[in-house]
Amino acid sequence: MPGWRVMAIPVLLATVALAQARTEPIAVRVGPVTAVAWPAQRELARTLAEVAARPAEFPGLGTSTPGVLSIIIARNGAALDSIVGGRAPSWGVGFADPATRTILLRADAPDVHRTLRHELAHLALHDRVRVRVPLWFDEGYAGWAAGEWARLGGLELNLAVARGAVPELRDLDGELRRSPGSVGPAYALAMSAVLELARRHPDGRLDPLINRLAAGDEFDAAVQATTGLSLTRFEDAWRRSVRSRYTVATWLVAGGAWVLVATAVLALGFWRRRRDRGRRAALDEGWPIPDPDDQLNGQSDETAEPAEPGGPVLDRNPRP
């Protein structure tokens, strides 16, 4: 996730110390990479710094060397929130600021190594491309580079997408930052849009688009030159592609059928409970209420005699 700003490293160290229970932070240096962390995350900091210091392959960029960068490791969401002064969304597990070449990671993220790869991809892209790119492209590119394919799998189970509710690219930018509920599908859709950009080039690669952007072409012009489509027509083609790939049929195959079965079973159980409650209430009408004294004498409902001889015989466990 890009677009977040950090302060100078000395100030940062002091802030990290305050944010992380007033314990002195430590700095681990591996080549051009400095990782700042709480002592409990020292080994994680070293491992992540070693990974970040290696040259790495990124889609459309080839091999990228990391250059000087800082990685700050917060032990949890509260510590991360303190470091960025409450400006980070609660669901965020990683942030990158290309301007200061700083990455902020949560140590308790489900897959911190993949998150690091995602943030490194943001830096690598912005190292090469200096023109402004849309947020959906930035996030979709980083998702692709980090191999977040499970996100695309999640789209198969998204009923809204299966029913054809694919947002416009402009709205996708807003959904990428809106809420935990919208952000998962939004990242997946952004990835699918970037994959579609590559697929629309005759070579099926992203390099031509990245090269155009690196040369200074505006984003719309680069899309037109490498896909033959204006951004508006590309958007139409992408939305059609998503609608044809993710349908109610694929939703059912991916597991939606089980959702329907589970819903039907729950509804049937609810209906039967309501029906039985009504039948029990009807059977209880006119049934004598035992004398409290009888109960005190140790008589239960089942052994109490009817108040009047010849009274109704009640089936206490009526069957349907």
Q: Report the residue number, 16 or 142, with the smaller CB distance to Zn ion.
A: 142
Q: Is 25 exposed, middle or buried (0-12, 13-18, 19+ CB in 10 A)?
A: buried
Q: Report the residue number, 25 or 140, with the smaller CB distance to Zn ion.
A: 140
Task: Copy the structure tokens of residue 267.
Answer: 């509804």
- What is the nearest approach in angstroms of Zn ion to the Cβ of residue 56? 16
Rg (CA), the chain: 30
In DSSP terms, 72 is beta-bridged to: 36, 104
What DSSP string describes 92-159? --EEEETTTTEEEEETTSTTHHHHHHHHHHHHHHHHH--S---HHHHHHHHHHHTT-HHHHHHHTT-H
- What is the nearest approach in angstroms of Zn ion to the Cβ of residue 245? 23
Q: Report the residue number, 28 or 120, with the smaller CB distance to Zn ion.
A: 120
Q: Report the residue number, 144 or 234, with the smaller CB distance to Zn ion.
A: 144
Q: Report the residue number, 2 or 208, with the smaller CB distance to Zn ion.
A: 2
- What is the nearest approach in angstroms of Zn ion to the Cβ of residue 91? 12
Provide the Cα torsion 124, 130, 135, 140; round to 10°: -40
- What is the nearest approach in angstroms of Zn ion to the Cβ of residue 118? 5
Provide the Cα torsion 70, 134, 89, 243; round to 10°: -130
CB 113 within 8 A of CB 48: yes
d(CA 223, CA 216): 13
Residue 39 CB contacts under 8 Å (≥ 6 apart), including other chains? 23, 24, 25, 26
- What is the nearest approach in angstroms of Zn ion to the Cβ of residue 122? 6
Q: Which residue is nearest to Zn ion (CB)?
A: 1
List phi, psi (to 5°) of 47.
-60, -45
* Amino acid at site 221: A
- What is the nearest approach in angstroms of Zn ion to the Cβ of residue 107? 18
- What residues make contact with Zn ion under the rule CB under 5 A? 1, 139, 142
- What is the nearest approach in angstroms of Zn ion to the Cβ of residue 110? 15
Q: Report the residue number, 138 or 196, with the smaller CB distance to Zn ion.
A: 138
- What is the nearest approach in angstroms of Zn ion to the Cβ of residue 139? 5
Q: Report the residue number, 141 or 238, with the smaller CB distance to Zn ion.
A: 141
Q: Report the residue number, 142 or 166, with the smaller CB distance to Zn ion.
A: 142
Classified as helix, coil or strand, 166 is: coil
Name which of 99, 105, 200 is nearest 146 in CA terms. Answer: 105
